Amino acid sequence: MCAIHQPNLFPRLSTLAKLYAAGQWIVLDDVQFARRDYQHRARLAALDSPARQQWLTLPTHLPDGRTTLISQARLADPSRSRRTVSLLIRQYYGRSRHWPAVRGVLDAVLDRFEAADRVSDIARASTIALLTALGWSGDVLDSSTIPTREGRSERLADLAVATSSTHYLCGTGGWRYLDPAPFEAHGIPVLAFHTPVDTEDPLWRWSRGISSLWALSQIGPEALAAMLAAQRDQLLLEGFK
């Protein structure tokens, strides 16, 4: 089963939950970069007050202007961005009793700054570090390495076929435009993925707005992995009925 999603910097819990549920993450790195999206930024929430938030943003240079692809976007000042990431995450989550797990994620990303100047590399590394902290051992592939057709749904279907995926896990955003026909033509069912909406659980209530670093800091990797696994199992049960 695969999920196809753009690289996000320290992704929101809703995004991380979808990737965790899939056995494969196809990184959609060859579409247009969007400054209002999450490729180069994340909302950090205060430990004791998730409503108090701050953007963590990587200043980004777009060589081709608005038409620049995600894979072509460059860090405007890698050294400064590295310092900012380190300082802000320590400031927000250094007091958490689960700081060792958060620090492991942070260190993996800081190490990546040493070898990369592409925004997508940093965002990709941050997502993989979070998934790894939760014990996820799936495969990660880049869409730019896979030939596909141009149609939006056709392209996604071709990516699923090329990676021998048995199912395509589609989030709420993609569900609004997705045409399931190209998937059905290859015998690949499309499963709708969503996170709980009407819930008293603050982790899910804030899951679509703030970085999953907050959830990791709140309950730690073991409890968070168990929560995401339960959500995955429930959705798969509903999807396979």
* Average pLDDT score over residue span 32-60: 96
Could you report the per-residue pLDDT of 175-223, keeping only the tens digit for each? 888 999 999 999 999 999 989 887 889 999 999 999 999 999 999 999 9
| Per-residue pLDDT at 241 exceeds 60 | no
Element (H, E) at 57: strand 49-57
Could you tell me which of 63, 70, 62, 58 has the C-alpha nearest to residue 32?
A: 70
Q: What is the pLDDT of residue 198?
A: 76
Structural contact between residues 29 and 44, judged by C-beta atoms closer than 8 angstroms: no
Residue 120 amino acid letter? S
Contacts of 102 (CB under 8 A, 6+ apart): 89, 93, 96, 213, 216, 217
Q: What is the pLDDT of residue 169?
A: 95
Could you report the per-residue pLDDT of 103-142, keeping only the tens digit for each? 999 999 999 999 999 999 999 999 999 999 999 999 999 9
Residue 156 confidence class, pLDDT cut points 50, 70, 90: very high
Q: What is the pLDDT of residue 222?
A: 98
| Per-residue pLDDT at 9 exceeds 90 | yes
CA gap 76, 68 in Å, rounded: 14
Residue 240 confidence class, pLDDT cut points 50, 70, 90: low
Residue 39 confidence class, pLDDT cut points 50, 70, 90: very high
Residue 239 confidence class, pLDDT cut points 50, 70, 90: low
Contacts of 32 (CB under 8 A, 6+ apart): 66, 67, 68, 69, 70
